[in-house]
C-alpha cells in the first residue's frame, strides 16, 4: 500500500464508493485513496476477487452484479445503511460484452452494465451525495465514445442489430451524456459530475468479450496498453481534486479536460431524452 504519512493524507475525512473495484483500475484507485486517508467502500461482482481489496481498504465488501438491477438496488440500500454522506462516487464498473447475451433484466448488456446500472445506483445514492454538501461523481468513460450512437427510440437494440464495439462505444457515450445530465439537474445539491477516459489499460477489461480478450491475452497487449497504476491515476487525481464547479459536466481524456467527444454528447435532446428514458426503464419516473 502507498505511503500513509500525514503529508499524503489528501483524502482524509472523505467517504468514497468505488464500483468495479474487484481488480484493475478500480482496485488500484480504492487502495490509493484509502492510503491517502479516505474511508473507501468497494463493490464488484466477484466476492473472491473483491475480498482482498476490501481488506486492504479496511471495509466489508459489497457484492453486486450490474447485470442484475435488483443487485444494484440492494447495493444502494447497503451503502445508505453504512454511510450518511458520500463525498465521491466513482462509477467505474463496466466493460465490453457480447450483445446477444441479454442481462438478467432482458437488456442489451453493454447498455445495462455500462449505463443503466450506474444511472440507477447514482440516482438511488443522490440523498447521500446531497447530504455531503459538496460531492463528486466520476463516470469512467472511454475514447470509444466516438464510435457510439444513441438512438433514443431503440436504446435496447430491439429494432436493429447490436455490434459489440459500437454498442460498447454507445455505452461509453452514455456515460458522458449522463455526466451532463447530472450537471444540469443536481448542481443545486452541490453535486459535481465529470467523465474520464483513463487510457487503454492493460487489465481484465474485455474479459467477457472473446475478441477483446484475445488481444489482452496476446503479446500485443504490451504494445497497445498502459499499466493499471497509470490507468488509475486520472481517477485518483479527479477524486483528490474533488467537486470543482469549474469542471462540472466535462469530459477528461486522462488528465486533459475537454477530450474528443461524439457530437451527440452536447445535444440537449439526447441529454434529456436519455435521462427520461433511463429513469422510466429502472422505475424512477
Residues with a known catalytic role: 168
Q: How far apart are CA 88 and CA 174, in angstroms?
A: 20
- Grid coordinates of 245: 464547479
Q: Taking CA 9 as the corner, what is the angle to CA 259 and CA 204, rounded to the nearest 5 degrees?
A: 50
Q: Helices (DSSP H) in the chain: which residue ranges?
A: 24-35, 47-57, 69-82, 109-111, 117-124, 126-131, 164-186, 210-217, 221-224, 228-241, 268-281
In this structure, which long-range contacts are made by residues 141-144, counting pairs with CB atoms below 8 Å and at least 24 apart in sequence?
141/172, 141/173, 141/175, 141/176, 141/179, 141/195, 141/196, 141/197, 141/251, 142/168, 142/169, 142/172, 142/175, 142/197, 143/197, 143/253, 143/259, 143/260, 144/168, 144/169, 144/172
User: Rounded distance, CA 64 to CA 164, Å?
Assistant: 23
Amino acid at each position: 500500500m502507498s505511503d500513509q504519512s500525514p503529508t499524503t493524507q489528501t483524502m482524509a475525512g472523505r467517504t468514497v464508493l468505488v464500483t468495479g473495484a474487484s481488480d484493475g483500475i478500480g482496485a488500484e484507485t480504492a487502495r490509493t485513496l484509502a492510503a491517502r486517508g479516505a474511508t473507501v467502500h468497494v463493490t464488484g461482482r466477484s466476492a473472491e476477487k473483491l475480498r482482498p481489496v476490501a481488506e486492504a481498504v479496511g471495509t466489508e465488501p459489497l457484492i453486486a452484479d450490474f447485470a442484475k438491477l435488483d443487485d444494484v438496488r440492494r447495493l444502494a440500500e447497503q451503502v445508505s445503511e453504512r454511510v450518511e454522506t458520500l463525498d465521491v462516487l466513482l462509477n467505474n464498473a463496466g466493460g465490453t460484452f457480447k450483445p446477444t447475451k441479454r442481462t438478467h433484466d432482458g437488456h442489451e448488456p453493454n447498455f445495462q452494465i455500462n449505463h443503466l446500472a450506474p444511472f440507477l445506483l447514482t440516482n438511488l445514492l443522490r440523498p447521500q451525495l446531497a447530504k455531503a454538501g459538496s460531492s463528486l461523481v466520476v463516470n469512467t468513460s472511454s475514447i470509444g465514445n466516438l464510435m457510439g450512437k444513441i438512438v433514443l427510440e431503440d436504446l435496447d437494440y430491439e429494432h436493429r442489430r447490436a455490434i459489440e464495439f459500437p454498442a460498447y462505444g454507445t455505452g461509453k457515450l452514455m456515460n458522458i451524456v449522463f455526466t451532463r445530465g447530472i450537471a444540469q439537474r443536481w448542481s443545486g445539491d452541490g453535486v459535481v459530475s465529470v467523465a474520464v477516459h483513463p487510457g487503454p489499460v492493460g487489465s481484465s477489461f474485455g474479459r467477457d468479450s472473446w475478441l477483446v480478450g484475445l488481444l489482452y491475452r496476446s503479446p500485443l497487449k504490451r504494445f497497445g496498453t498502459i499499466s493499471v497504476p497509470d490507468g488509475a491515476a486520472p481517477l485518483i487525481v479527479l477524486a483528490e481534486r474533488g467537486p470543482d464547479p469549474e469542471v462540472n459536466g466535462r469530459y477528461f481524456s486522462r488528465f486533459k479536460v475537454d477530450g474528443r467527444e461524439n457530437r451527440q454528447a452536447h445535444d440537449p435532446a439526447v441529454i434529456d431524452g436519455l435521462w427520461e428514458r433511463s429513469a422510466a426503464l429502472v422505475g424512477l419516473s
